[in-house]
C-alpha cells in the first residue's frame, strides 16, 4: 500500500456471474480518488459483510443453512471459523468490550450470539435470539428477517432491525451472566421493511432506513425507551423501488447519506435542523448500490455497485455535504460491502 493512501476491504458475492473469490482489497489515492485493486485478502464463499476491531477482521459466508455458513475471524496471527445456525447471515457486529459477536441471519430471522476470547477469536455460541412475527407485504414479510445487529457502545444493549416484522428489537445484556433479554420491541409503520440504522455518537438518536417504503425514520431515546418521531421519503417525487439499502452518518454528524438501489442514487440529508432536510441525490456511476462508505477523514465516499461490478469514488465537500464524482472507478465482482482499514493487523 502506498503511504498516505487509504486502504479498504470489500465484501463480495462469489457466485456467478461474479469473478470475486472472497474478501477483496483496494487502495484509494487520497489526492485524486483513483481506485487501485490489489490481492484478495481471503478466499471465502459470499463474504457479504465485514467488521473489524484491533484484534482482526470478522465476516461470514452468506449461504443457506444446508451449506453450513461459518463465522470467520481473520486475526493478527491466527484464523478461526465456527458454524452459524441460520440461513443467509447478512450482518454482524462486535461489542465495545470485544466479548461478543452478534450475527443477524436474514433467511431464518434469528440473531446468533458468539463468545470471543481475549485474542478476539470466536470460541463458542452463547445463544440464539428470535422474535416471531410477520408483516403485511406477502412477498417479503411472511416471517422474521433480521437484517442488522448492532451493539450500543455506551450502554449494555443490542439493537436488531427486523425487515420481516417491521420492528426494532432491543435486547438488554447482562454481561456478568452473559445473557440477552428482550427489553423493548418498537413497532414501525406496517410494511415499511426496516433494513439498517446508524446512531449518533451520544446514542440518543437513531436514523433508520426502510427498504420497502424507501423512507428515512428518526427514532429518539426518551429515558430508557425508544420512540419513532418522523418518517420522510428518500427521493421525493420519485417512484418507490422497494430497495433502499445502506445508510451512513458523516463523521461530524452534520449530514446523512442513504443508497437507493433501484434508482442507482445516493440521497443526501442535512441534519442542522430538528428533522433531516433532503438536499439532493447523486447518481452512483453504476447499478444497484448495495453499500457505500465514508472515509474517516470525511473527504471521500466510495460506492459498491453490485450489479455493474464496480466501485466508484466521490469527493465529499465537508461544508455542504454534497458529492462530486472523482472520475475514477474500478472493477470488482459483485461488491456488496465496503470497510476502511482501521490500522489493525
Tell me how far apart the alpha carbons of residues 125 and 113 are, in angstroms, rounded to a whole number: 6
pLDDT in tens, 25-69: 999 999 999 999 998 899 999 999 999 999 999 999 999 999 999
This prediction has a pTM of: 0.97
Buried residues in 108-145 as b, exposed as e (16+ CB within 10 A): bbbbbbbbbeeebbbeebbbebbbebebebeebbeebb
Give the angle subtended at the CA of 190 by the CAs of 186 and 195, to the nearest 5°. 65
Mean pLDDT of all residues in 204-210:
98
Is the pLDDT at 336 greater than 60? The verdict is: yes
Report CA 244 to chain centroid distance, whole Å: 12
- Average pLDDT of the chain, as a whole number: 97
Q: Strand, helix or coil at 67?
A: helix
For the chain, the domains span: 5-340
5-340 has CATH 2.130.10.10 classification: yes
Is the pLDDT at 342 greater than 60? The verdict is: yes
Grid coordinates of 106? 436474514
**156, 134, 155, 137: which is closest to 145 by C-alpha?**
134
Looking at residue 52, what is its pLDDT?
Answer: 97
pLDDT in tens, 219-228: 999 998 999 9
Is the pLDDT at 89 greater than 80? The verdict is: yes
- Report yes or no: 27 and 295 within 8 Å, Cβ to Cβ: no
Confidence of residue 4 (pLDDT cuts 50, 70, 90): confident
Amino acid at each position: 500500500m502506498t503511504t498516505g493512501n487509504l486502504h479498504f476491504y470489500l465484501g463480495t458475492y462469489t457466485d456467478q456471474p461474479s469473478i470475486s473469490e472472497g474478501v477483496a482489497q483496494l487502495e484509494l489515492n487520497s489526492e485524486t480518488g483513483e481506485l487501485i485493486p490489489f490481492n484478495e485478502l481471503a478466499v471465502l464463499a459470499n463474504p457479504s459483510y465485514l467488521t473489524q476491531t484491533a484484534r482482526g477482521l470478522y465476516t461470514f459466508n452468506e449461504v443457506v443453512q444446508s451449506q453450513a455458513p461459518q463465522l470467520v475471524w481473520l486475526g493478527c496471527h491466527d484464523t478461526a471459523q465456527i458454524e452459524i445456525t441460520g440461513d443467509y447471515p447478512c450482518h454482524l457486529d462486535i461489542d465495545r468490550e470485544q466479548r461478543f459477536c452478534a450475527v443477524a441471519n436474514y433467511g431464518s430471522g434469528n440473531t446468533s450470539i458468539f463468545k470471543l476470547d481475549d485474542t478476539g477469536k470466536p470460541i463458542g455460541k452463547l445463544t440464539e435470539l428470535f422474535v416471531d412475527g410477520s408483516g403485511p407485504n406477502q412477498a417479503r414479510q411472511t416471517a422474521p428477517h433480521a437484517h442488522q445487529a448492532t451493539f450500543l457502545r455506551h450502554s449494555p444493549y443490542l439493537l436488531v432491525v427486523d425487515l420481516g416484522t417491521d420492528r426494532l428489537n432491543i435486547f438488554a445484556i447482562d454481561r456478568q451472566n452473559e445473557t440477552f433479554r428482550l427489553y423493548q420491541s418498537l413497532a414501525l409503520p406496517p410494511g415499511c421493511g426496516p433494513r439498517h440504522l446508524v446512531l449518533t455518537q451520544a446514542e440518543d438518536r437513531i436514523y433508520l432506513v426502510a427498504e420497502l417504503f424507501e423512507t428515512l425514520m428518526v427514532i429518539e431515546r426518551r429515558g430508557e425507551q425508544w420512540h419513532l418521531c418522523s418518517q420522510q421519503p428518500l427521493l421525493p417525487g420519485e417512484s418507490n423501488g422497494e430497495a433502499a439499502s445502506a445508510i451512513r452518518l458523516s463523521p461530524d454528524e452534520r449530514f446523512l447519506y442513504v443508497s437507493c438501489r433501484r434508482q442507482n442514487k445516493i440521497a443526501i440529508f442535512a441534519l442542522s435542523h430538528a428533522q433531516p432536510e433532503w438536499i439532493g441525490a447523486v447518481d452512483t456511476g453504476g447499478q444497484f448500490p448495495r453499500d457505500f462508505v465514508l472515509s474517516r477523514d470525511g473527504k471521500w465516499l466510495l460506492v459498491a455497485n453490485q450489479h455493474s461490478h464496480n466501485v466508484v469514488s466521490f469527493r465529499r465537500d465537508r461544508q455542504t455535504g454534497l458529492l462530486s464524482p472523482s472520475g475514477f472507478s474500478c472493477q470488482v465482482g459483485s461488491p456488496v460491502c465496503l470497510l476502511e482499514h482501521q490500522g489493525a493487523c
